[in-house]
Structure 1
């Protein structure tokens, strides 16, 4: 049985189309169609139901899919065992992260990782939108959030403390709040999808509505607006630490609360047969994020 054809079936089921499967496998749609047709001919059943608008697995395809996945994953494990642990990672690693964190942390780490693993290729997608990693064929997503329940696997990598910050120019003009209630009298820079910030006050979580004339769908844009004196921002420590050192931004402390910290997570599609390239990159990122003593 042709493992390339099995890979087409597995990726077609995940991507929802032969074209999507072809993109993930780096083959032409015509080749993907031919391989799937050959597999159906060999098995003597139709695995995929095609229409002009959609594609879905037949009952036979659904029944066969777990076996195809096991065979494809088994091949990857077998090849990895032949290379040995000293050989490191190999193949295409598709990653996604937010724009700011990806630019400042993931992209520089990817350079180091590729130097240490010369058989690895990396495709890095930076976006502040939530990516469906299964549909997009992503091997690993790095997310900074309180994660919702899902079928994905998530590994917590590090704390992500946040700070209220503003530029010296803003503070000179408007001062700073000293308590949580005072934030509502200031210009606050928020992401477009949310006008609330979360705080810890003692053992309690508090969510407050904040207002401002500037919103954006990008943390990078909010950061720049904050540096430019437009208002107060609630940003991650890794994002503002250099500005704090240089005096471009000033940290604001409240007497009765502090911003709710988030966590940095590695998110991947399945716990079964995690490829070496994914495991090793997670280890590298986890080590990079550990506090320096």
Structure 2
């Protein structure tokens, strides 16, 4: 199996056409078509459905794509280990993060990381859905979670994710400021749409406090916006409210008898075996950045 043909196959899936893959690879569309056909013959499967206007993966092509990427990454790792690439990180780092955290924290980190590694490319997927990393061909997921759950993925804790209750000054002026946990029941709160309660810790105990309000949504960005516009009290991460606290759009709402359940920021990846340097270096970079 020719690794350059595998690279062409991956390039075609990313470009959406053989012509685009050919341009990336410095070859002609005709030659690219012949090489993909030779790869399909070698493997004994059809990788693409081809029409005059579209190029889409077959089911076999979908299943083969993450393995093709792994083989290409392994070659890059071997070249780097042997000094063929001058010690530079190369290839494409494919990762996912949630929408709000990815936009505010991960994207700025990636921009700075790319400046340190000019031969690296990044494909960032922002989604609040939990994606199948193997099927999607992802190297890494950065997530905010309440605990490390048992799964087939390897997890590394990057940093704590402190949270608090926040509201706009206009909301508190109109509705008053709750001081104790039970008082939240009388306020408009902004739940994330999946539950009707928030989880708090008091001493060693965990408490689920029932909350209610006229607006609920699965979007943290929408909750944040509604909170700044005076719609109620929101439970938000510190990284999400720094600018609003500085400008006075939001103020903390401390509760005397409880604190929000702590959360953590974790890196998830399919396997610790032969972890590509691009993944390891970005995990280390994110850890140092979040802890600074």
**TM-score, scaled to structure 1:** 0.79
User: How far apart are the structure 2 equivalents of 1:270 and 1:242?
Assistant: 37
Alpha-carbon distance, 1:282 to partner: 1.0
The equivalent residue for 2:37 is: 34
Matches within 5 A, 1:268-287: 268-287=269-288
Distance change in 2, residues 1:49/1:75 (3 Å): closer
Alpha-carbon distance, 1:128 to partner: 2.3
Answer yes or no: is the 8 Å Cα contact 2:5–2:36 preserved in 1. no
User: How far apart are the structure 2 equivalents of 1:251 and 1:31?
Assistant: 63
- Unaligned 5+ segments in structure 2 are 22-32, 49-56
User: How far apart are the structure 2 equivalents of 1:254 and 1:267?
Assistant: 33
The equivalent residue for 2:195 is: 194
The equivalent residue for 1:75 is: 75
Relative to structure 2, which stretch is displaced further, 75-84 or 147-156? 75-84
Matches within 5 A, 1:1-293: 1-4=1-4, 23=13, 28=18, 34-40=37-43, 55=59, 74-83=74-83, 87-146=87-146, 147-291=148-292
Answer yes or no: is the 8 Å Cα contact 2:191–2:234 preserved in 1. yes
Alpha-carbon distance, 1:215 to partner: 1.5
Alpha-carbon distance, 1:7 to partner: 7.4
User: How far apart are the structure 1 equivalents of 2:185 and 2:278?
Assistant: 46
Instruction: Tell me the SS of whatever aligns to 1:190.
Output: coil
User: How far apart are the structure 2 equivalents of 1:145 and 1:192?
Assistant: 17
Answer yes or no: is the 8 Å Cα contact 2:79–2:85 preserved in 1. no
Relative to structure 2, which stretch is displaced further, 172-181 or 156-165? 172-181
Alpha-carbon distance, 1:193 to partner: 2.2
User: How far apart are the structure 1 equivalents of 2:274 and 2:11?
Assistant: 20
Instruction: Tell me the SS of whatever aligns to 2:190.
Output: strand
Answer yes or no: is the 8 Å Cα contact 1:6–1:39 preserved in 2. no
User: How far apart are the structure 2 equivalents of 1:101 and 1:114?
Assistant: 19
User: How far apart are the structure 1 equivalents of 2:111 and 2:70?
Assistant: 32
Distance change in 2, residues 1:91/1:224 (3 Å): same
RMSD, matched Cα: 3.3
Relative to structure 2, which stretch is displaced further, 70-79 or 217-226? 70-79
Distance change in 2, residues 1:170/1:277 (3 Å): same
Alpha-carbon distance, 1:34 to partner: 2.4
Distance change in 2, residues 1:198/1:238 (3 Å): same
Instruction: Tell me the SS of whatever aligns to 1:77.
Output: helix
User: How far apart are the structure 1 equivalents of 2:253 and 2:155?
Assistant: 32
Alpha-carbon distance, 1:119 to partner: 0.3
Instruction: Tell me the SS of whatever aligns to 2:200.
Output: strand
Relative to structure 2, which stretch is displaced further, 81-90 or 151-160? 81-90
The equivalent residue for 2:52 is: none
Count of aligned pairs: 269
- Unaligned 5+ segments in structure 1 are 9-17, 41-45
Relative to structure 2, which stretch is displaced further, 220-229 or 194-203? 194-203
**TM-score, scaled to structure 2:** 0.79
